[in-house]
Amino acid sequence: MDLKIRESRREDSPILLELIKELAVYEKLLHEVEADSDQLSKSLFAENSPAFCVLAESSDGVMGFALYFFNYSTFLGKKGLYLEDLFVRPQFRGQGVGKALLKHLAEIAVDQECGRMEWSVLKWNEPAIGFYKSLGAFPMDEWDTYRLTGESLLNLGKKGRS
């Protein structure tokens, strides 16, 4: 297989949106996708974008993607790499594409002197959980993820309110 991992470019926005929607279908979350190709192009490829994306491709086309950003660990005193999304199209699974994407990100994390690499996985996604564990990743069972969105975020973020 002629697998190649490369940084995504602005002109990749339409294919990225396709991949994001395919991921959302897999995760049963398509109803939550609000992004469009123009929005991705403007935000992901802006000069100071906080996020980065790599594509896995071959002569068969785009096989998958990984979108990530850097965070910071106060305990380690180092930045970390946070994997927001990893997706491999079904027809390319089991061929080392996911591992190649994670290896590429791990190389970036090491080059950037990150103290860790983290991501979230849906509790029901046993194939992904098994794959991540096979690479030496482990669950952070003592932590729960919390999220503010929509009205809750707007209400908390309104200036002048306490």
β partners of residue 80: 71
Return the number of other C-beta atoms located less than 10 Å from residue 17's C-beta: 18
Are 52 and 7 a contacting pair, CB within 8 Å? Answer: yes
CA geometry: angle 23, 146, 139, nearest 5 deg = 65
What DSSP string runs through 55-87?
A: EEEETTEEEEEEEEEEEEETTTTEEEEEEEEEE
What DSSP string runs through 94-143?
A: TTTHHHHHHHHHHHHHHHTT-S-EEE---TT-HHHHHHHHHTT----TT-
Q: Closest Cα partner for 42 from 23, 16, 24?
A: 16
Q: Which of 26, 68, 82, 132 is catalytic?
A: 132
26 is catalytic: no
Q: What is the CA radius of gyration of the chain?
A: 17
Residue positions annotated with a catalytic role: 132
